[in-house]
Amino acid sequence: MSKQPRVIFDTDMCTDCDDVGAHGILHALADNGEVEILCCASSYPDYYVPGVIDVINTYYARPDLRVGTWKAPEYRRSERYPKHMSENFPCRIKNADDAEDAVALYREILSGQDDGSVTLVTIGGWQNVHDLLRSPSDSHSALNGIELVAAKLKEWSCMGGFFPDSGENSETNLKLSGKDKTVWVLENWPEHVKIVFAGGEIAGAKVGSVLASQTPEDNPVREAYRHFYCVGNQCPWCKGTWPCDHHCADLNAVLYAVRGKSPYYGSVDVGHLHYDPETGHNEWRAEPAGNQAYLTHAMPRAALKRVFEELLVQPPRGRPA
């Protein structure tokens, strides 16, 4: 079995810009030979998200990476950066109509992998995770969704939740997934596949402004950050203006999935996430212990910021000059 991590990347790239930063550093890590990207998919019902995913894949010289999407009953058509970028940057997939069904894509990809070899990275809602677990057997695998995940996944690196207690911060990816889906996934997730949450205070290091000074204007990661700030004149979260540093919640989930904990993170490994579907509140409970953990800080935030910045400004390998 290959020691190089193999990653399925699942994102709600629209609601924030750190998703784009996370996607960028995933490609940089792949350029370094540290990870293999198996496929990417959108978990968010915005029509243009698959387009911006493909824009970034194309920029990093991986235009053939397959892109899926959650097949929502209907799609929003927001004026956020995915629309702007899918219409103004090179890509073969422009929108949800061009993208594959995420669950069918995941099932096909997983069925061709060695047992216990795949890491799922989610930096958004759990719509695709929920639907994958509930999927029936198909032409690619006789296993149902839960059985397929249990067989093929090594770990789930999940950006979600605030730890140890969300307090008033109830608008997390857990709640955005839909309360019934979140509860169902937590109750039916295979016991031996570990879930590692990278949420809340672990997002403390901030990055992004370096893109303005150290990357070219045609870098789509830079443009997504710029557009996210400039369309509304300021970031809706930090109230800053471009160029400005931004939280790195999603980047942590990617870095952990590829490089692991040391020297970046510690973890709390005893206990489980308790989620209240009515309020969206989550808390970490020590008992019973199970297959879950959440990340904590080990490296000083200034040092972690430098790690992220080096990856964000790393020029793509294999891209024509």
Does an H or E element contain 293, and which? Answer: strand 292-297
Residue range 135-178, pLDDT digits in tens: 999 999 999 999 999 999 999 999 999 998 888 776 677 877 77
In angstroms, rounded to a whole number, what is the distance separating the alpha carbons of residues 35 and 33?
A: 6
Q: Return the DSSP state at 121.
A: E
Overall residue count recorded for the chain in this entry: 321
In angstroms, rounded to a whole number, what is the distance separating the alpha carbons of residues 232 and 230?
A: 5
**What's residue 233's pLDDT?**
59
Count of beta carbons in the 10 Å neighbourhood of residue 237:
12
Query: Residue 198: helix, strand or coil by DSSP?
Result: coil
* Maximum alpha-carbon separation in the chain: 55
Burial 150-186 (b: 16+ CB within 10 A, else e): bbbbbbbbbbbbbbbebeeeeebbbbbbbbebbebbb
Please give the single-letter amino acid code of residue 117: S
In angstroms, rounded to a whole number, what is the distance separating the alpha carbons of residues 233 and 137?
A: 48
For the segment 258-271, the average pLDDT, to the nearest whole number, is: 96
User: Which domains are assigned to the chain?
Assistant: 6-312 (3.90.245.10)
Cβ atoms of 124 and 43 closer than 8 Å: yes
Residue range 46-62, pLDDT digits in tens: 999 999 999 999 999 99
Burial class of residue 63 (count of CB atoms within 10 Å of its CB; 0-12, 13-18, 19+): middle
Taking 50 as the threshold, does the pLDDT of residue 1 lie above it? no
**What's residue 260's pLDDT?**
97
Count of beta carbons in the 10 Å neighbourhood of residue 101:
15
Query: Residue 177: helix, strand or coil by DSSP?
Result: coil
pTM of the entire structure?
A: 0.95
Show Cβ contacts of residue 300 under 8 Å, excluding neighbours closer than 6 positions: none
